Amino acid sequence: MTHPFSFSAPLQLDSRALEDCIGLDQRCLNGFWSARQWQQELSEAGRLCLGSWAEAGERRLVGLSSGWLVAGELQLMLLLVDPHWRRQGLGTRLLNALFNAAAEQGCEGVSLEVAASNGAARSLYEKLGFTTSAKRRGYYRNGDDALLQYLNMCDCKSRTDNRPD
């Protein structure tokens, strides 16, 4: 579904966005994280959480990306895009903003886990340059395997610096 209006540039979220994050989590993952987990994600040091809002009509959080800064690496925790806002580049925009924020804090790589059956996410991560480094068999409750993926942001930057505008 395309929309006649756009979403905001990704902004750092804080505890004022708690209810909005819980709502987006409900729409995307049926409440994967508890309110307490969201509060920690939005307030603890070493965590980045960026969100985009619908810019017209009802003000609504339509996407977010979050990660933890650990030992010079960003561990991607969540990428959520409202089901009505998917396939418009919002996920890529959120991830790039998160990667840039992490790079500003000295991170050189990004790691993540993705369900082997999540073709849409795997396609996005592949497009961004992630490679699979390992597999955890039966990792998820439903028995699905987790693929461990990694992106060296230095390699990514060198690939994109020479692209024409």
Strands 109-115 and 11-12 turn out to be: unpaired
Alpha-carbon gap, residue 109 to 43, rounded angstroms: 23
Beta strands, E only, 6-99: 11-12, 47-53, 61-70, 73-81
Q: List the catalytic residue out of 73, 113, 139, 150.
A: 113
Q: At a CB cut-off of 8 Å and minimum separation 6, what does 116 contact? A: 122, 135, 144, 145, 146, 147
125 catalytic? Reply is yes
Separation of alpha carbons 31 and 71, rounded Å: 29
Q: Catalytic annotation on 55?
A: no
Residue positions annotated with a catalytic role: 113, 125
